[in-house]
Amino acid sequence: MTPSRPLSPARLLLLAWLLGAVFYFLDYVVRTSPAVMLHPLATQFGITPLQAGSLLGSYFITYSLCSLVAGLSIDHLGPRTPLVAGCVILAIGCLCFLAGSQSGGYVGRLLQGAGCAFAWPGCVFIATQGFSPHRLATVLGITQASGNLGGYLGQYGIGQALSSGLSMSTYWAALAGLILLLAIGFMVLLRPGAHPPPSTTTPAGTTSLGLLEPFRIILSNRQSWLAGVIGGLMTVPTSVFAMTWAVDLLQTDRQYSYADAVLASSVVSLGWIIGSPLFGLWSDRLGLRKPVLCSGAVLMLLVMLQLFLFPDLLPGTVSMLLLGVVSGAELLVVSISKEVNPDRVKGSAAGCANFLVFGCATLVGMLYNLFLPFSNNRPGTLLQHFQQSGLFFIACSVIAILLILGLQETGQRRMAGSDQPQAAARC
């Protein structure tokens, strides 16, 4: 009996990317599932539903900040240790949701955001090592689709399971155990030294990057900030509306049943599964990023105008599905963020993109939390209140479209005709 051959580095990278996609899948499960248990969590933590909404939104504070730490650590240490650490932090955050106090809930949600922040930069780092640049947007679109599937399961699947009798304590404990198994998988597949960070392989005659040098390179680039803000504004209708408030607003203002509200909010993630790979493939085939991103933003605006101002024109589930499909274009800001910065900071570029996108989305979400009580206190019908809430998200899309006009094109077709290297592109 001949001994089995060890897996090649390429095969190990492929398996590691698949495992990273599972981590990203669970990232979205953790991110979205609390939206379908808003009122039970409020009761468990002894707070109001509005306070519970703010508690769930705190996820994006640590998610955005720790994205910087995740990208930097992956650039300097490689993906193994950061991904294992992210899984452990996330598992602890899930276990904190077994507590019965508001402080325990906040600690758990902050830890969940911190742990999940390692999933996307890790996937981007592994993808850039294992796949051709010409397929990068497509691969990232598939990765994003895995997260979107997790978002659907986290809302509709978990909502159905809770309605069928699954206890929240069992759910969070089982999820923590599964995430710890992922940590073991990363330890096995990502062998020490097998995937060195790019900062240790600089060309002859140059020095490796200092600890904070990647941040200086990325954050001194105006295009990085512009892409991040655009991505944040395009994320708000899904992260703030669909993932946090949609179930409550649809029940209150549109008189949906709990099951129908959960279904309508969850199909946004199904739409992402369709839209993210399609927009990535369209951009790769066209060789351009900017027109595809702008098309997605315009389509998102049109869908939201129908959803909020003319909600009876289409069934709510169809409108939410379409919102998910067109919001898949937001993924392209990650490709743009990587392409306007040098390859030697690709891990930090992904982390900074997450920081800027979700940092912007968090700040805008806080503004919405201030806007919502004001809207609630205004006189009017339930439909008018729903429309007033929607104007906030419509405004975000309009601003995003205007900002896209100032973006630099980074697609392969545009850069092939440029005299400047793509990695050094600046505005």
Report CA Rg, the chain.
21
Give the count of alpha carbons within 13 A of 241, CB side only. Answer: 26
Let me know: does 267 contact 152? Beta carbons within 8 Å: yes
Which residue, 113, 122, 111, 91, is CA-closest to 20?
Answer: 122
Q: For residue 160, with 0-12 CB atoms within 10 Å meaning exposed, 13-18 middle and 19 or more buried, which class applies?
A: middle
Let me know: does 122 contact 82? Beta carbons within 8 Å: yes
The type of residue at 381 is: T
Q: What residue spans define the domains of the chain?
A: 9-191+214-413
pLDDT digits (tens, 9 = 90+) for 19-67: 889 999 999 899 888 888 888 888 888 888 878 888 888 888 898 888 8
> What letter does residue 153 receive in the DSSP assignment?
I
The CATH number fitting domain 9-191+214-413, selected from 3.40.50.2300, 3.40.50.300, 1.10.3720.10, 1.20.1250.20: 1.20.1250.20
C-alpha span between 67 and 72 (Å, rounded): 8
- Helix, strand, coil abundance in the chain, percent, nearest 5: 80, 0, 20
C-alpha span between 368 and 375 (Å, rounded): 10
DSSP 267-326: HHHHHHHHHHHHHHHHHHHHT-SHHHHHHHHHHHHHHHIIIIISTTSS-HHHHHHHHHHH
Q: What is the pLDDT along the chain (427 residues), one digit of tens a residue?
A: 444 455 566 677 778 888 889 999 999 899 888 888 888 888 888 888 878 888 888 888 898 888 888 877 887 788 889 999 999 999 999 999 998 888 889 999 999 999 999 998 888 888 777 666 667 667 777 887 788 788 888 888 888 888 888 899 999 999 999 999 999 999 988 876 555 555 444 444 444 556 677 778 887 888 888 988 999 999 898 888 887 788 888 888 888 888 888 888 888 888 888 887 888 888 888 888 889 999 999 999 999 999 999 998 999 999 999 999 998 888 888 778 878 877 667 667 767 777 888 888 888 888 887 777 766 666 667 888 888 888 889 999 999 999 999 888 876 666 555 544 443 333 2
Please provide the size of the chain in residues.
427
Spatial CB neighbours of 126, under 8 Å, sequence gap ≥ 6: 13, 16, 17, 20, 79, 195
Which H or E run contains 349? Answer: helix 346-376
Q: For residue 239, with 0-12 CB atoms within 10 Å meaning exposed, 13-18 middle and 19 or more buried, which class applies?
A: buried
DSSP 235-268: HHIIIIIIIIIHHHHHHHHS---HHHHHHHHHHH
CA angle 366, 262, 372 (to 5 degrees): 25
- C-alpha distance from residue 380 to each of 255, 376, 397 (Å): 15, 9, 25
DSSP 2-36: PPPPPPPHHHHHHHHHHHHHHHHHHHHHHHHGGGG
